[in-house]
Amino acid sequence: MSQTLKPFQIARSIAVSAALATTTGFVSAQTVIKIGHVAPLTGNQAHLGKDNENGARLAIEDLNEKKIKIGGQEVKFELLPEDDGADPKQGTAVAQKLVDAKVAGVIGHLNSGTTIPASKIYFEAGIPQISPSATNPKYTMQGYKTAFRVVANDGQLGGTLGRYAVKDLKGKAIAIIDDRTAYGQGVADEFEKAVKAAGGKLAGREFTNDKATDFAAILTKLKGSKPDVVFFGGMDAVAGPMLRQMKQLGIKAKFLGGDGICTAELAKLAGDAMGDEQVVCAEAGGVTAKQEKGLEDFKARFKQKYNAEVQIYAPYVYDATMVMASAMQKANSADPAKYLPELAKISMTGVTGTIAFDAKGDIKDGTLTLFTYKKGQKEKIAVVR
């Protein structure tokens, strides 16, 4: 038998239904925690971007397998990957997109040139950001309490390589080339400072851009000063062709660079132009003996899952994601305002070592690993602090 409802009963029924819908939506929204990830997935750095993204995906899968409870209920972590093309304008556009999507946090960006402008957007939205690879000191010097990184900065990176060029390689004529990006120019500046401080002699400084393929003019100019060391501030996609052209011009110098060239892909990009032990690069991270097994186990699991070698940053992306999730667990909330204080004071051991942040958001006691290449394979020289 049907029942005729009076107007006030209809109104109350609608209100109750709306309240239930709102409550249900709120609960549903709380069970899914969105984590943004940004890296270049197109262009000449796409292999590095995909390496980063896969590191994040592996972390998300591991977190979901643990069936973590936050706020009294089981949560599911969801990765929202974005492509910034290593372009600052595209980087800020995707940063705003992630803010609009109401992500709980962001892992990225890969490049300093995209990380720095994007960090302002995340800060204004109150969203924590952990970069696994941006090394320019400016990133954490802006006073943004939402900005963190899990690798050493350019001051440590360029400084170590500069001292190494003078004291270990005994460089007499040291040339510098940078790609004019925030990362490339930044690390080259720090390298130059360290060379001068160590009493080294500069043979010249030139610049190119991060998409260049022809370096004949600048290399010919530098060749006249007979450099025995060439430092390049930039990424592997440019360093590979540069090494090829150095060989064609008969420049037999040692080739140094930061973490941007310190990848598994460099040997392929340079081909037979790269001699054994010619290249020395520094990775903005590294583990000591007792932690080596954990990192090697990660690399083996990564290769089995993605049928690819770790390029460089994937372990740091993995740790950054795990650190962010751990802060949420400690705060018992995925609300950025509530878990941010826990993130700032966190201390945990990941596959890349102990992760804790200083007052600026830089990693404490950041390590560097010096590598060279033999028969196309990376070989560790030393881990330094």
Distances (CA, A) of 36 to 100, 147, 235, 289, 290: 11, 14, 24, 33, 32
CATH of domain 155-283: 3.40.50.2300
CA angle 137, 138, 141 (to 5 degrees): 95
Along the 385 residues of the chain, how does pLDDT read in single tens digits?
434 444 434 344 433 333 333 333 333 444 899 999 999 999 999 999 999 999 999 999 999 999 999 999 999 999 999 999 999 999 999 999 999 999 999 999 999 999 999 999 999 999 999 999 999 999 999 999 999 999 999 988 999 999 999 999 999 999 999 999 999 999 999 999 999 999 999 999 999 999 999 999 999 999 999 999 999 999 999 999 999 999 999 999 999 999 999 998 999 999 999 999 999 999 887 777 778 889 999 999 999 999 999 998 999 999 999 999 999 999 999 999 999 999 999 999 999 988 999 999 999 988 889 999 999 999 999 888 7
The tokens describing 202, both together, are: 């500069």
CATH of domain 31-151+289-365: 3.40.50.2300
Distance from first CA to last CA of the chain, Å, rounded?
A: 81
Q: In 3D, which of 359, 364, 363, 366 has the Cα closest to residue 143?
A: 359
Q: Alpha helix (H) ranges present in 71-181?
A: 88-100, 112-125, 154-163
pTM equals 0.83
What is the rounded CA–CA span in Å between residue 110 and residue 313? 9
Q: Where are the domains of the chain?
A: 31-151+289-365, 155-283
